[in-house]
């Protein structure tokens, strides 16, 4: 979609007098400080969940007031009411679908918002369109799905996928907190923050949807922003967390508004004098190839993949290429890949979710395994790299169980190798 300039966007006042505005107007808020547009873990830990229970020392934002009910004790079906309830309940996601009550995902579990009526077709269209400008509405009507983001006054940002479902409009809205937390706040291993010290290369943060990837990347970029006089370039769809340039110069580009595609923006990036490049999602062959090229030319590149382990991440990147190119890609990856953080969000005892991460840092042994296509041996290499800060997912889960943070049963659900997990649990 071509962007002919700043778009005029609708606003919805919330009960505190703030306003919901469309993405272009909102993005001008980047000059006001770090604001988020994603989920609370990607709400506290990047991806999309609640803040990890190993709570951050930061002062929590004041809770939003509970929306006033409509007559008859039911909450009025207004978008601002639902957004306020999402913030107040510390939910990661809000779902709007015809024929159901509005739903929140809290600590990974979906539940209806109490005292709300069932959403009708007209309700869904009215509420979803209220967060979009006219051009976005046209794109949604034409393409049947659309990604965008908006700010809800001072209460937070929302990343949205609006789509057609059974002929009706529906939407999934992910809450992004208004404060970028540090790696320590998120309960991540100390070695993760050291990823910001790599002078060049490729760093991957991976995991399924809702695992906190965006929040982890925001913590890393904000660390660089605070400590290094460098040029940071982000390419996202849509922009989630926004940054105020501090010691670094930060430029953020949104696909569809500021560029036509990830791959096109990455090709242009080499002429924009960046030191650090964030790729919101490495989706296809062209984007992955461009990311490797940018890393090869002396830049530090951060990217995400929807994979569950370091070994799977490498295989995914290689497998998108034709067979005759795969050996060359392995050689390139062995040269540029610096580290992989594969993370999950696990329900914590007492509520909330906590990050569990597999950490791989490339050393000569791992580089050789990547070059030789022996990714099935990477887990063993990670186990022997503990002194370098590496850790397997199974060992991480066992530590969390032994620390009394998560239950053994919950840990089992996220174990990679059940036999190894049980062996480690027995000590």
Q: φ, ψ for residue 385 (rounded to 5)?
A: -105, 25
pLDDT reported for residue 72: 54
Classify residue 145: in a domain, yes or no.
yes
Of the listed ranges 3-7, 83-87, 135-139, 403-407, the least confidently predicted one is 3-7
Partners of 171 in beta bridges: 96, 162
Check whether residue 363 and residue 321 sit in a common domain.
yes
Query: Is beta strand 19-21 parallel, antiparallel or unpaired with respect to 93-96?
Result: unpaired
Q: For the domain that residue 80 is a member of, what is the CATH number? A: 3.30.450.90
CA distance 89 to 92: 9
Sheet with 276-279, edge to edge strand ranges: 249-254, 231-236, 276-279, 300-305, 201-206, 337-347, 353-361
Check whether residue 364 and residue 219 sit in a common domain.
yes
Classify residue 423: in a domain, yes or no.
no
User: Per the structure, how many domains does the chain have?
Assistant: 2
Q: What mean pLDDT is predicted for residues 370-399?
A: 96
Check whether residue 160 and residue 223 sit in a common domain.
no
Partners of 235 in beta bridges: 253, 279
Classify residue 246: in a domain, yes or no.
yes
pLDDT reported for residue 73: 63
Grade residue 155 by pLDDT with cuts at 50, 70 and 90.
confident
Q: What mean pLDDT is predicted for residues 373-381?
A: 96
Digit-coded pLDDT (tens) for 326-367: 999 999 999 999 999 999 999 999 999 999 999 999 999 999
Give the three-state DSSP class for 325: helix
Partners of 176 in beta bridges: 157
Q: What mean pLDDT is predicted for residues 145-154?
A: 91
349 class by beta-carbon count within 10 Å (0-12 exposed, 13-18 middle, 19+ buried): middle
Digit-coded pLDDT (tens) for 380-394: 999 999 999 999 999
CA distance 279 to 302: 6
Grade residue 10 by pLDDT with cuts at 50, 70 and 90.
very low
Whether pLDDT at 322 is above 90? yes
Check whether residue 261 and residue 140 sit in a common domain.
no
Classify residue 324: in a domain, yes or no.
yes
CA distance 285 to 264: 13
186 class by beta-carbon count within 10 Å (0-12 exposed, 13-18 middle, 19+ buried): buried
**DSSP letters spanning 12-37:** EE-TTS-EEE-HHHHHGGGGGS-B--
Check whether residue 165 and residue 302 sit in a common domain.
no
418 class by beta-carbon count within 10 Å (0-12 exposed, 13-18 middle, 19+ buried): exposed
Digit-coded pLDDT (tens) for 50-81: 333 333 333 344 444 555 554 456 778 999 99
Provide the domain limits for residue 95: 11-176
Q: φ, ψ for residue 387 (rounded to 5)?
A: -65, -20
Grade residue 32 by pLDDT with cuts at 50, 70 and 90.
very low
Whether pLDDT at 4 is above 60? no
Check whether residue 156 and residue 77 sit in a common domain.
yes
Classify residue 400: in a domain, yes or no.
no
Measure Cα distances from 111 to 43, 52, 91, 177, 213 in Å. Answer: 17, 20, 10, 21, 24
261 class by beta-carbon count within 10 Å (0-12 exposed, 13-18 middle, 19+ buried): middle
Q: What mean pLDDT is predicted for residues 16-20?
A: 42
Check whether residue 147 and residue 258 sit in a common domain.
no
Check whether residue 317 and residue 339 sit in a common domain.
yes
pLDDT reported for residue 74: 73
Q: For the domain that residue 354 is a member of, what is the CATH number? A: 3.40.50.300
Contact 415, 400 (CB under 8 A): no
Specify the DSSP element, H or E, that contains 254: strand 249-254
Check whether residue 172 and residue 302 sit in a common domain.
no
Specify the DSSP element, H or E, that contains 246: none
Grade residue 96 by pLDDT with cuts at 50, 70 and 90.
very high
CA distance 225 to 163: 35
Whether pLDDT at 36 is above 70? no
Whether pLDDT at 410 is above 50? yes
Contact 35, 241 (CB under 8 A): yes
pLDDT reported for residue 69: 52
Check whether residue 165 and residue 208 sit in a common domain.
no
Q: What mean pLDDT is predicted for residues 305-322?
A: 96
Check whether residue 228 and residue 327 sit in a common domain.
yes
Residues 6+ apart with CB under 8 A from 427: none
Q: Closest Cα to residue 253, out of 180, 266, 385, 212?
A: 266
Runs of H (alpha helix) within 258-392: 262-269, 285-296, 310-319, 323-336, 364-371, 378-383
Classify residue 412: in a domain, yes or no.
no
Digit-coded pLDDT (tens) for 178-222: 889 999 999 999 999 999 999 999 999 999 988 999 999 999 999
pLDDT reported for residue 247: 98
Partners of 203 in beta bridges: 302, 339
Structure tokens at 229: 């006089």
Q: What mean pLDDT is predicted for residues 105-113?
A: 95
Whether pLDDT at 5 is above 80? no
Structure tokens at 235: 């390419």
Classify residue 83: in a domain, yes or no.
yes
pLDDT reported for residue 7: 37
Average pLDDT score, the chain: 86
How many angstroms from the chain centroid is the CA of residue 108? 15
Sheet with 145-152, edge to edge strand ranges: 11-13, 19-21, 145-152, 156-165, 168-176, 93-96, 103-106, 109-112
Classify residue 404: in a domain, yes or no.
no
Check whether residue 153 and residue 207 sit in a common domain.
no
pLDDT reported for residue 288: 95
Q: What mean pLDDT is predicted for residues 7-19?
A: 41
Contact 352, 319 (CB under 8 A): no
Of the listed ranges 36-45, 164-173, 190-199, the least confidently predicted one is 36-45
CA distance 236 to 216: 15
């Amino acid at each position: 979609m071509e962007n002919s300039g700043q778009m005029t966007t609708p606003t919805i006042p919330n009960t505190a007098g703030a306003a919901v505005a469309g993405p272009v107007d909102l993005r001008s808020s980047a000059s006001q400080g770090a604001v988020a547009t994603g989920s609370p873990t990607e709400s506290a830990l990047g991806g999309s969940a609640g803040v990890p229970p190993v709570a951050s020392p930061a002062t929590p934002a004041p809770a939003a007031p509970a929306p006033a009910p409509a007559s008859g004790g039911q909450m009025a079906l207004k978008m601002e009411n639902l957004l306020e309830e999402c913030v107040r309940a510390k939910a990661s996601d809000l779902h709007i679908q015809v024929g159901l009550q509005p739903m929140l995902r809290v600590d990974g579990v979906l539940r209806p918002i109490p005292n709300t009526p069932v959403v009708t077709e007209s309700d869904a269209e009215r509420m979803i369109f209220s967060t979009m400008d006219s051009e976005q509405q046209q794109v949604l009507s034409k393409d049947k799905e659309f990604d965008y983001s908006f700010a809800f006054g001072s209460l937070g940002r929302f990343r949205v996928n609006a789509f057609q479902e059974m002929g009706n409009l529906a939407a999934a809205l992910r809450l992004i907190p208004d404060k970028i937390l540090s790696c320590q706040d998120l309960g991540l291993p100390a070695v993760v923050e050291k990823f910001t010290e790599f002078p060049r290369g490729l760093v991957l943060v991976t995991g399924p949807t809702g695992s906190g990837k965006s929040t982890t990347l925001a913590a890393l970029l904000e660390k660089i922003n605070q400590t290094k006089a460098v040029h940071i370039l982000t390419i996202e769809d849509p922009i989630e967390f926004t940054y105020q340039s501090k010691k670094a110069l930060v430029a953020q580009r949104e696909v569809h508004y500021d560029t036509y595609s990830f791959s096109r923006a990455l090709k242009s990036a080499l002429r924009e004098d960046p030191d650090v490049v964030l790729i919101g999602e490495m989706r296809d062959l062209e984007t992955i190839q461009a990311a490797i090229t940018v890393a090869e030319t002396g830049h530090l590149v951060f990217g995400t993949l929807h994979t569950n382990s370091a070994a799977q991440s490498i295989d995914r990147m290689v497998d998108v290429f034709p067979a005759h190119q795969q050996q060359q890609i392995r050689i390139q990856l062995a040269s540029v890949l610096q580290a992989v953080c594969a993370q999950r969000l696990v329900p914590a005892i007492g509520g909330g979710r906590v990050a569990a991460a597999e950490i791989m840092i490339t050393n000569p042994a791992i580089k050789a395994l990547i070059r030789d296509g022996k990714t099935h041996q990477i887990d063993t290499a990670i186990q022997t790299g503990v002194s370098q800060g590496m850790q397997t997912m199974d060992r991480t889960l066992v530590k969390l169980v032994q620390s009394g943070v998560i239950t053994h049963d919950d840990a089992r659900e996220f174990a990679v190798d059940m036999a190894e997990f049980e062996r480690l649990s027995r000590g």
